[in-house]
Amino acid sequence: MKRTRTSLFRRAVMWAAGVVLVVSVAGWVASVSVPDWFPLVDGPPIHVGLNSGCVRAHSVVQVRPASTVEIAMDAPSWLWPGQSGFVECFREVKTGKLLWGVVLPLWIPATFACALLYCLRRAEACTRERACVGICPTCGYDLTGITGPCPECGKEREA
């Protein structure tokens, strides 16, 4: 089967979504199996790590109290661990500094990757099904009894 630009692009997006899905699930497993904090990047001015099913990035630099923002969300703990929003501000226990943090629950990229994979696989299956039934996969013209290219769009029939 001849690969077109669309099918190659679709394949590339499917691979990328698959990688996002695998990394999200692996990160979630690692973050749930480690009890406290699993550092990914640990150095000034920011710490990035996995904690309770989320990727968390926290500042090491103190922020002004006037710039504190929190986007809160009431959700069950299994859905949104820690009852935190996307942006959190907190006071460090040891030093009393006011710090900021960004939280991304790993189920969000995993869900989007699954949905994208499903839609792309479905589109690919529909294209194959159209070609098998005798319908032009490009424009949908009925090719029953026609030999050669599609009279509507000019696309050659696939063997």
Q: Structurally, how many domains does the chain consist of?
A: 1
Name the H helices within the chain: 5-33, 107-133
- For residue 151, tell me if it sits in a domain: no
In a domain, 69, yes or no: yes
How high is the pLDDT of residue 61?
Answer: 65
Round to whole Å and give the CA distance between 6 and 120. Answer: 11
User: Is position 85 within any domain?
Assistant: yes
Range(s) of the domain holding residue 92: 9-109
Question: What is the rounded distance in angstroms from the CA atom of residue 78 to the CA atom of residue 92?
Answer: 25
* Contact between residue 121 and residue 14 where contact means Cβ atoms under 8 Å apart: yes
Mean pLDDT of 72-93: 58
Report if pTM > 0.75: no
What average pLDDT does the segment 20-44 reach? 78
**First and final CA of the chain: distance in angstroms?**
8
Sign of CA dihedral 62, 68, 71, 77: positive
In a domain, 95, yes or no: yes
Average pLDDT rounded to a whole number, residues 11-31: 89
Q: Does residue 44 form part of some domain?
A: yes
C-alpha pair distances (Å), 123 with each of 6, 19, 65, 67, 80: 11, 20, 50, 46, 32
Residue 142 lies in a domain: no
Residue 124 domain flag: no
**Assigned domain for 76 exists:** yes
Q: Which of 1-15, 56-70, 89-103 has the highest mean pLDDT?
A: 1-15
Residue 33: closest CA among 57, 55, 50, 58: 50
Average pLDDT, the chain: 76
Q: What is the per-residue pLDDT across 34-69, written as a single tens digit (0 to 9) for each?
A: 766 666 776 667 778 887 788 888 776 665 554 444
Say what the pLDDT of residue 113 is: 94
